[in-house]
Chains A and B, each alone.
Chain A
Amino acid sequence: EAAVTQSPRNKVTVTGGNVTLSCRQTNSHNYMYWYRQDTGHGLRLIHYSYGAGNLQIGDVPDGYKATRTTQEDFFLLLELASPSQTSLYFCASSDAGGFYAEQFFGPGTRLTVL
């Protein structure tokens, strides 16, 4: 089973602050994703990547940058955090190609922007 870890698990920052959320997967998956989860909206895709150095824009990218430094590591950057970015953030990974390629989720990072 894929292992996806996230850090920090909780983060509090102030408006205008700079935040980096980290994600690491150890199952050699090609694809990685960043989601935010908000009540009434479900899980929404922010950015995703199919390998080191690659970045694809998701459905709600405004205010977020991301970088995939290695196959294992995917980072989400909030350079000027706003209260609207208070949310629960999940990272996920998936194997490339084939049917039924499940996405495996990390435990989440709860971010509060004051």
Chain B
Amino acid sequence: GDSVTQTEGLVTVTEGLPVKLNCTYQTTYLTIAFFWYVQYLNEAPQVLLKSSTDNKRTEHQGFHATLHKSSSSFHLQKSSAQLSDSALYYCAPQSGSFNKLTFGAGTRLAVCP
């Protein structure tokens, strides 16, 4: 099956500075897409970004990520972090079988003033 490794634990960044959350993966031939989910405090996870195209930059809500199949990576970046970005972030490859997602352990982002 698929496996995901994310930046461990807590990432703390000052408001206005750039942030990068790492995601590397091992997947099977059944993997069809890659997602970043975000979970705000006391809320459900929701999709932030998604991609299935190699070497194509995907952007949403100021975040961007590029799928690099050669290095098995799908890192999440933002050029200027905002206080409202504080949340738990999950990287998740999706299998074509039942649209199953395999979630990493998650990275908690704390943006400080």
Chain B neighbourhood of A50, CB < 8 A: 98
CA distance A101 to B92 in the complex (A): 13
Contact B46 A105 (CB under 8 A): yes
Contact B52 A107 (CB under 8 A): no
CA distance A41 to B52 in the complex (A): 25
Check A43 for interface membership: any CB of B closer than 8 A: yes
CA distance A42 to B44 in the complex (A): 13
The number of A-B residue pairs with CB atoms under 8 Å apart is 48
Interface-lining segment among B69-77, B78-86, B103-111: B103-111
Contact B104 A102 (CB under 8 A): no
Main secondary structure of the interface of A (DSSP, over half): loop
Contact B90 A43 (CB under 8 A): yes
Binding site for B on A (CB under 8 A): 31, 33, 40-45, 48, 50, 56, 59, 90, 94-96, 99-103, 105-108
Given contacts A105-B44, A106-B44, 7 further A-B contacts (CB under 8 A): A45-B101, A48-B100, A96-B99, A102-B50, A103-B99, A103-B101, A107-B44
Can you name 23 A-B residue pairings with CB atoms under 8 Å? A31-B99, A40-B105, A41-B105, A42-B90, A42-B103, A42-B104, A42-B105, A43-B45, A43-B103, A43-B106, A59-B1, A90-B44, A94-B99, A95-B99, A99-B32, A99-B52, A100-B52, A102-B47, A105-B44, A105-B46, A107-B43, A107-B44, A108-B44
Binding site for A on B (CB under 8 A): 1, 32-33, 35, 43-47, 50, 52, 90, 94, 98-101, 103-106
